[in-house]
Structure 1
Amino acid sequence: MDKLTLTTATSSRLVCYYNSLAENRPDYGQFSVSDIDPYKCTHLIYAFSDINNTNELVPSCDTDIPRYQLFDELKIRFRTMVANQENRTKFIKSAIKLLRDNGFDGLNLDWRYPGGQDKERFTLLCKELNETFVDEGNATNRDRLIVTASVSAEKATIDASYEVSQIAMYLDFINVLTFDFHGPWESVTGHHSPLYNGSQDTGDEIYLNTDYAMRYWRDQGAPTQKLNLGLAAYGRAFNLSTKSSDIGAPANGPGEEGCYTGEEGFWASYETCLYIEGNTTQLIVDQKVPYAVTDNQWVGFDNKDSLNTKVVICSVTYLKTNNFGGAFVWSLDLDDTTGQFCEMGKCPFISHLHDILVPATSSRLVCYYNSLAENRPDYGQFSVSDIDPYKCTHLIYAFSDINNTNELVPSSDTDISRYQLFNELKISSAQVYCIVHRGAPGLARKYLNAPVAGAEEGGLWCGDCFSSCLSI
């Protein structure tokens, strides 16, 4: 499933069942296919179908056939938009209007799963967005809108979904989703965002790490300075099924739900530090990332040491050695924004990244704002007013939608007022770009890597020289 954000993204699975029997419930209990928001889940399962007396799979009832069609149409809204030039043109025009009317500086495309003809159509969408944004900027004497993308880090999806060297020509930067390589949907423990290949990895598992993904994007033709390495401000937790607690230990599903985020096996960084308090953090030596065990809960996450290894410019030099353009974080709301949980001050995850990445370099630090976090309870709630614009070089607002007539639209009525607050952040910080993201919930990002007036030689943004916000 693919979406746009004003900006966000993740590569994790969220599988949702649709119970067709719910259509027959009374009053507010009634729920039909038309009530499904296809952007809340990565996979949708229709329940139920039957087996007849001759061992054939058949619909449960006659009314299932038209429901099947409506259900299947949920996955094609983005594909319908890219299917022909007329639809793409309508989308691009609506994007310019939404971005300009609300003060955004660009658009981020979340494109991770399609294959077949959609691969070539995505290239056309990137090309037409770029060219139209240039023309519109020249015609209105304004800085052109930028276009970026959040993309898969998995080799098979990269091969099926992207003409890498071609889309790289039209995108200002590319966010590679280098997390959720492993998770509690698997039967053994594994870190969801390892830097390197693990000694136990076999077969296609050798591709499931940050280093391989970043190098593969580079080797397929993406300029390194356009590539942003993905960092997740959360841990993935497993429920251990035996006394073994090493990497690769047997597991039987996700760990406990985050006490504020409310998702099983998904712990925000501030929840992780609470859960593992008093327990020893272990290092997965060959993969350069930590994990911890508390009772029967196994969690892999990033801490200051692993962030240093992945990002630090001066001493440990992975990012610098490979000449990658920067990093992005999913997402601001998952940090300890009040400083009351981890005893490391306010926003320790983002602040540490800023300290080691931004001041002495022109590297990007792109941060996603997940607008859904505003609906969480208690300390899990995070709104636009909680954002510190000085911590990031780019901010991405997630999410936005495509309507049935192929136009870019806000995800909800409340988004319009949030857009204004979001873009006011760039007034207080000369370094912030604001972007709108069209994509699946979970990721938002912002940054531009293209030569313009005020940019450094070679196409990197100066940071201090450009004061507008980008909408992806």
Structure 2
Amino acid sequence: MSTRVYVGLPGRVLTFFVASLLIPIFLARPSLANEPGHDKKSKVVGGYFEEWSIYFAGYNIANLQANGVADKLTHLTYAFGNATPTGCAIADSWADYQDPYLPSVSGTPYAGPLYGNFAALQQLKRLHPNLKVEISLSGAAGFSAAASSAQGREAFVSSCIDLFVKGNLAPGVSAAGVFDGIDVDWEFPTATDTVNATLLLKEFRKQLDALGKANNKHYLLTMFGPAGQQNFSNLQLAEVGRQLDFFNLQGYDYHGTWETSTNHASPLFDDKQDPAASDNFYIEYTVRSYLEAGVPGEKLVLGIPTYARGWTGVTKINDGLYQPSTGPAPFPSSDYLQTPGLITYLTVTGLTGYTTHFDERRLAVSLYDPSTQTFWSYDDPVTVWLKTVYVRTRVPGGLGGAFIWALKDDDANGTITKTTAAGLR
């Protein structure tokens, strides 16, 4: 019998109950803290808003206010600004600060000359004065070139701060006060970038602190923390961590349709039955590696995905898990990502014909439809709640919190984001 995928916990009492029974086992794992518990410091509840959300997804900053997600966030990261060899640049001027047609967040029309997403963020911050907003910078080649010399690092950082933190966008257009800091999304430093990456982060910290001293304000500095050892091994994790407020630690894309076999995309733990077990593609390995490298637990903020990765041509053995496929799963025409093997959590909640399977070893969930031989790996409210337990208990005082990639891909109510926030209270 096929089952519909439901998004609310009340409709999944049995699954949630089974998951709850796993918590004592979960807490008893040797890798977890001996004395788990809440700390007194509030946890980060973050989310990435992509500038292009306003186009094909029709998702705006105003949606965060309307569905109550903004009430739950402590940090919002705007993606992306461009990192070029000579400095920072606007990636999409229309979306960022020129579009006058975006819905108002507060109900007050945008007066200009600042429009677009930046004006919407300005309104959002007025409604939520404790919300911290960062600009995320992207561009591996730009980072690498800029970081390769002291002069390049100094000029690059100065450019980024001037453009985004000071808000000097264009003649007569200012976004001063919109951004409270910078997120470095360098995917990924190579072995030749290792030392220079540390030096670049030190330059960011130096210049942000100097500006903060003048403004009597602390400016945030964060960095995307790669999940795979092949990438995080190219960072001096402890030294970089000393410059940061926290790492936004990748907790997803451990597996996907770049591989021909199915697997969990965001599992908490390993499984000896996993054919790829030797690759250590699971969250606990990533977290343990950062901790052992000397990064404090409070500086690790765990990423949670709001999308699914899927395969087709998958046999029903083991409910489709760890099985060969013929290719990426087709996506419903309504899914705005329009990418084979990838759909939003919003789309997942409307799928029919699938059966949900909870993996008690890996604390992960998947869907399988034997009639179409299609398998999807994703996170639901149960696995998200379990991940918040992990964040709160992994080390004494807990990890730093969790973030969502990406806000637009959640369901209309913001269920994944709100579940994360509730679990970290």
Range into which the TM-score falls when normalised by the shorter chain: 0.5 to 0.7
Aligned residue type for 1:107: I
Match 2:256 to one of 165, 177, 183: 183
Tell me what 2:404 maps to.
Answer: 329
Match of 2:323 in 1: 249
**Structure 2 match to 1:374:** none
Does the alignment pair 1:230 with 2:303?
Answer: yes
The 3-state SS of whatever aligns with 1:251 is: coil
Q: TM-score, structure 2 length as denominator?
A: 0.61
How far off its partner does 1:274 sit?
Answer: 1.4
Aligned residue in 2 for 1:431: none
The answer to whether structure 1 residue 91 and structure 2 residue 156 are counterparts is yes
Structure 2 matches for 1:288-437, cutoff 5 A? 288-294=363-369, 295-312=372-389, 318-319=393-394, 323-337=398-412, 346-358=413-425
1: distance between equivalents of 2:48 and 2:415?
A: 22
Rounded Cα–Cα distance in structure 1 between residues aligned with 2:314 and 2:361: 24
Instruction: Report the CA distance between 1:112 and its aligned residue.
Output: 3.2
Q: Secondary structure at the match of 2:379?
A: coil
Residue 292 (structure 2) pairs with residue 219 (structure 1)? yes
Contact conserved, 1:232 with 1:331, CA < 8 A, in 2?
A: yes
Deviation readout 1:330-349 (Å, 9 max, x if unpaired) = 01000112xxxxxxxx1111
Deviations 1:147-204 (A, max 9, x none): 1100211112111x20011001101100111111111121211010000002223566
Aligned residues of 2:392 and 2:398 also touching (Cα < 8 A): no
> Following the alignment from structure 1 to structure 2, what is the Cα–Cα distance between the partners of residues 348 and 289?
17
In the alignment, which of 193, 196, 207 is matched to residue 132 of structure 1? 207
Q: Deviations over 1:51-109 (max 9, x none)?
A: xxxxxxxxxxxxxxxxxxxxxxx963321111111111111111221212222110000
The structure-2 alpha-carbon separation of the partners of 1:332 and 1:75, relative to structure 1 and needing over 3 Å to count, comes to closer
Q: Which residue of 2 aligns with 1:207?
A: 280
DSSP 3-state at the match of 2:349: helix
Gaps of at least 5 residues in structure 2 are 1-46, 51-90, 93-138, 168-174
CA RMSD across the alignment: 2.5
In structure 2, the residue matched to 1:142 is 216
State the 1:251 CA deviation: 0.7
Match of 2:237 in 1: 164
Shift in Å at residue 216 of structure 1? 0.6
Cα distance in structure 2, aligned partners of 1:111 and 1:272: 30
Q: Aligned letter for 2:383?
A: S
Identity %: 26
Tell me what 1:116 maps to.
191
1:31-60 Cα shifts (integer Å, max 9, x gaps): xxxxxxxx99xxxxxxxxxxxxxxxxxxxx
In 1, the alpha carbon distance for the partners of 2:259 and 2:393 equals: 29
Could you tell me how far apart the structure 2 residues matched to 1:120 and 1:325 are? 26
Amino acid of the residue matched to residue 377 of structure 2?
A: G
For 2:188 and 2:271, locate their aligned partners in 1 and report how far apart those are by CA, in whole Å. Answer: 26
Partner of 2:84: none
Q: Tell me what 2:270 maps to.
A: 197
In 1, the alpha carbon distance for the partners of 2:145 and 2:251 equals 28
Give the whole-Å Cα distance in 2 for the aligned partners of 1:263 and 1:167: 34
Going from structure 1 to structure 2, the CA distance change for 1:230 and 1:7 (only over 3 Å counts) comes to: closer
Distance 1:94 1:8 in 2: 23
Aligned pairs for 1:269-288 within 5 A: 269-275=345-351, 277-288=352-363
Question: 1:353 corresponds to which letter in structure 2?
Answer: T
CA distance, structure 1, for counterparts of residue 210 and residue 353 of structure 2 = 58
Q: TM-score, normalised by structure 1?
A: 0.55
8 Å CA contact 2:48, 2:406 repeated in 1: no
Tell me: CA distance 1:292–1:203, structure 2 relative to 1, closer, same or farther (3 Å): closer
Distance 1:282 1:218, change over 3 A: same
Number of aligned residue pairs: 278
